């Protein structure tokens, strides 16, 4: 997929591993301008991890780009660890990283689960946030989880059939519990095939048009295990969000500016949530990309995200 509308690929100028307690160790990196305006990239999943392409949404001459892998994801250790892995833990981890890097405030950039975590962090620490760029909004509500587990079969019956039929007929009565049990099995012969089936299902539903490269990237063993196991764990616990959910805390963010980018045909996180969020956020600007699905790498979504970040530049 051509990605000439993103900024050129760059290497980080600093990387590290930050102990978090409970055996968790966070991978983090910085790229771009060390004296630039700070921006924090929050990856999706939960459990998907970040990659080199995510640096490319930001002008490296202007932005101090901070990227990290959340607990159990990507290059953080241990991979797929569920102990002490909740939304409040992740919110606290972001504060640990901010203080470690000596930053006062930063712009938050997150898509899918990354939008959920951005909202949770911003509601907990609004004084540390200059604004938010959110994509493919996921509010962690039960109907959104049920849509992922069951509703997608209305649009992707073939992908859903493969997802459900990975399980024996006797285990299909509760897809989430059955998958979580298999994903947590210590035997790789059990948990790896389940992780691939879960992750390929999500990958197949993430773009407007079929993308074999996207599905292949989701199916890699390491990324699949972190994504599937942690995602199922969070789904089984209502995303570890407070009663009332994220919309109940929007008064804490009313003063902050936000850019919301949503693919019209996003099947993983349908547009209803983006519209609900925009309606609850006085300073939010909603951009609906008419010919896009869920992925941040859809052509129209890429363009809209780069433009949204650019509107947050501080000149002079």
Q: Omega into 60 within 30° of 0, i.e. cis?
A: no
Determine how many CB atoms are found less than 10 A away from the CB of residue 156. Answer: 16
In the structure encoding, which two tokens stand for residue 49, read together? Answer: 């991890």
Establish whether 24 is a catalytic residue: no
Distance CA 70, CA 107 (A): 18
Q: Which of 69, 76, 112, 233 is catalytic?
A: 112
Reported in sequence order, the residue ranges of the chain that DSSP labels E, i.e. its strands, are: 14-21, 24-32, 37-42, 63-68, 106-111, 129-135, 258-263, 284-289
Distance CA 159, CA 165 (A): 10
Establish whether 166 is a catalytic residue: no
Q: Which of 24, 62, 191, 294 is catalytic?
A: 294
Element (H, E) at 224: helix 221-236
Q: Which of 24, 43, 115, 266 is catalytic?
A: 266
Establish whether 266 is a catalytic residue: yes
Residues involved in catalysis:
112, 266, 294
């Amino acid at each position: 997929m051509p990605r000439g509308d993103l900024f050129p690929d760059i290497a980080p100028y600093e990387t590290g591993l930050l102990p978090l307690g409970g055996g968790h160790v966070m991978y983090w990196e910085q790229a771009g301008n060390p004296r630039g305006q700070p921006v924090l990239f929050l990856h999706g999943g939960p459990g998907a991890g970040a990659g080199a392409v995510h640096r490319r949404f930001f002008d490296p001459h202007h932005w101090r780009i901070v990227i990290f892998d959340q607990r159990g994801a990507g290059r953080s250790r241990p991979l797929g660890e569920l102990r002490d892995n909740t939304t409040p833990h992740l919110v606290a981890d972001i504060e640990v990283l901010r203080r470690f890097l000596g930053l006062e405030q930063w712009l938050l950039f997150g898509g899918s689960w990354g939008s959920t975590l951005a909202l949770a962090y911003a509601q907990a620490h609004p004084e540390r946030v200059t604004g938010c760029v959110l994509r493919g909004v996921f509010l962690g509500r039960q109907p959104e989880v049920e849509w992922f587990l069951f509703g997608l079969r209305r649009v992707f019956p073939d992908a859903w059939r493969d997802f459900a039929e990975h399980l024996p007929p006797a285990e299909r009565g509760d897809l989430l519990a059955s998958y979580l049990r298999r994903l947590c099995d210590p035997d790789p012969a059990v948990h790896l095939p389940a992780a691939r089936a879960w992750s390929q299902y999500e990958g197949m539903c993430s773009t407007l048009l079929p993308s074999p490269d996207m599905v292949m990237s989701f199916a890699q063993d390491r990324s699949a295990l972190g994504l599937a196991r942690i995602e199922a764990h969070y789904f089984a616990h209502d995303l570890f969000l407070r009663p009332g959910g994220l919309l109940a805390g929007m008064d804490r963010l009313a003063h902050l500016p936000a850019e919301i980018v949503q693919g019209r045909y996003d099947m993983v996180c349908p547009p209803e949530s983006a519209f609900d969020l925009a309606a609850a956020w006085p300073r939010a600007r909603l951009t609906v990309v008419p010919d896009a699905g869920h992925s941040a790498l859809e052509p129209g979504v890429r363009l809209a995200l780069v433009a949204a970040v650019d509107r947050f530049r501080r000149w002079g």
